[in-house]
Amino acid sequence: LLGIEGSTAEKSSDYIRMVALGFPAIGIFMALRYHTQGVGITSPFAVAAVIGFIANIPLNYIFIFGAGDIPAMGAQGCGLATAISMWLSAFIITAYVLTKKSLRYYMPPLVPVAPNWLAIKEILVIGGPVGATFFLETAVFAGIALLVSSLGDVAIGAHQIAFNVWDMFYIPMLAIGSAMATRMGHALGAQDQGGVFIALKAGILTSGVISLTTMVILLSVPATIVGVYSNSPDISLLATRLLSFAALFVIIDAVQIVGAFSMRAYKKTGFPFLASMVAYWLIALPLGYYLGVVRADNPFDGAAGFWIGIIVGVVVASAMIAVRLIVLLRQPIPDDFMPHHE
C-alpha cells in the first residue's frame, strides 16, 4: 500500500512478524501499568520500561549480527529482540504487582472466573474513545508526514526534525496530564470537590511552566537544536523556521492536554474524541493540504502550511475541550463517583 521497494518491504515484513510476538506482552504491561498508576504508584512501570529498553540494546546486537550458536537474523533479529524486551518489561511489572503487599488488596484471585460483562462494557465505553483519540492524533501526523514527503527531501527532513523535537517535549506533558488525571480521579472518588480543583490547578501550573520553558528553548536556540540532527544548509534553514511553529504549538497543546486528561478523570472520554476528530481531520489536515500543497509554490511555504494547519487544529480542539471542561467543573460531582456499599 505504501509503495515500498521489494527488499525493504520484505525486511519490514520480517521485522513486523517477529515483533508481533511481543504484542500480548504490551497488553499485560499496559493493563498493569495503569492499574498501579491508578492507585498512585508510578515507579514500577518506569523501572520495567527502562530495563526493557536497556536489555534491547545487547539483544539487538546478538540477534541482528549473531553470537556464538545464534545465527545472524538481520531484521528478524531486531524484531525478536524487541519482542523479548517487551516480555521482560511485562514480567517485571507483573512480578512487582504480585509481590507488593499494598497492591494485593486490589488484585482478584488468580483463578478462572466468569467474565464480568458489565465491567468489560464500562471499560470499553470509557477506554474506547481514549484509544480512538490517540489513534486519530497519531494518524493525522502520519498522514501529514506522507503529504509533506511529496514536497521533496528538504521538506520532509525539516518536518521530521521539527516533529521529533516537538515529540520529545510532548512526552513530559503527557506524564503531567496522566498524573493530574490520577489525582483528580482519587478526589472525585472521595467526593472531594476541593481536591479536584487542587489537582487541576497543579496540572495547569506544571504544564504551563513546562510549555513556556519549552517555547523559550525552541525560540532561543533553534539553530543549535537543528544542528544536532542535520548539517544540510537547506534542511537546517527550514527546520529552524518550523521550530517556531512547534514552539507555538506546544503552548496551545498544553491547554488541550490538560483539558482532555481532566475530562478523562470525569469519565467523559467521548468529547475529547469528538474534538480531535473535528480539529485534526476536518480542519487541520484539509487546511494544511490547502496551504501546503494547493497554495504553496515551494517546499518552504509548503511545510510551513502544514504546520499552520496543525496549529489551527489544536486551537480548535483546545477551545472545544476548555469550554466543555468549564461547564463540567461547575456541576456537582456525578453520581457514578459515589462510593458503592455492599
Tens of pLDDT, residue by residue over 235-291, are 999 999 999 999 999 999 999 999 999 999 999 999 999 999 999 999 999 999 999
Per the listing, cell 494547493 goes with 294
pLDDT tens sequence across 91-120: 999 988 888 877 767 666 666 778 888 988
pLDDT tens sequence across 21-34: 999 999 999 888 88
Q: What is the mean pLDDT of residues 112-136?
A: 88
The pLDDT assigned to 110 comes to 65
* pLDDT band at 6; cut points 50, 70, 90: low
17 pLDDT more than 60:
yes
Which has the closest alpha carbon to 77: 58, 54, 60, 56? 60
CB 292 within 8 A of CB 303: yes
Task: Give the N- to C-terminal CA distance of the chain in Å, as an integer.
Answer: 55
68 pLDDT more than 60:
yes
Q: State the cell numbers at 115.
A: 467474565
The pLDDT assigned to 7 comes to 62
341 pLDDT more than 50:
no
Percent of residues, the chain, with pLDDT higher than 90: 48
Please give the residue that has the higher pLDDT: either 273 or 333.
273
* pLDDT band at 35; cut points 50, 70, 90: confident
Which has the closest alpha carbon to 162: 236, 100, 101, 254? 236
- pTM beyond 0.85: the answer is no
What count of residues does the chain have? 342
The pLDDT assigned to 342 comes to 44
CB 250 within 8 A of CB 211: yes
DSSP letter at 151 equals T
340 pLDDT more than 60:
no
* pLDDT band at 172; cut points 50, 70, 90: confident
Collapsing DSSP to helix, strand or coil, 332 comes out as: coil
The pLDDT assigned to 338 comes to 61
Distance CA 43, CA 32 (A): 12
* Spans of all domains in the chain: 6-113, 118-337
The pLDDT assigned to 339 comes to 56
Angle at 41 between CA 38 and CA 44, to 5 degrees: 120
Q: What is the mean pLDDT of residues 328-335?
A: 86
Which has the closest alpha carbon to 46: 203, 179, 204? 179
CA atoms within 13 A of residue 302's CA, in its CB half-sphere:
21
Q: What is the mean pLDDT of residues 182-208?
A: 92
β-strand partners of 70: 67
Q: What is the mean pLDDT of residues 118-146?
A: 90
pLDDT tens sequence across 298-322: 888 999 999 999 999 999 999 999 9
Q: What is the mean pLDDT of residues 181-185?
A: 90
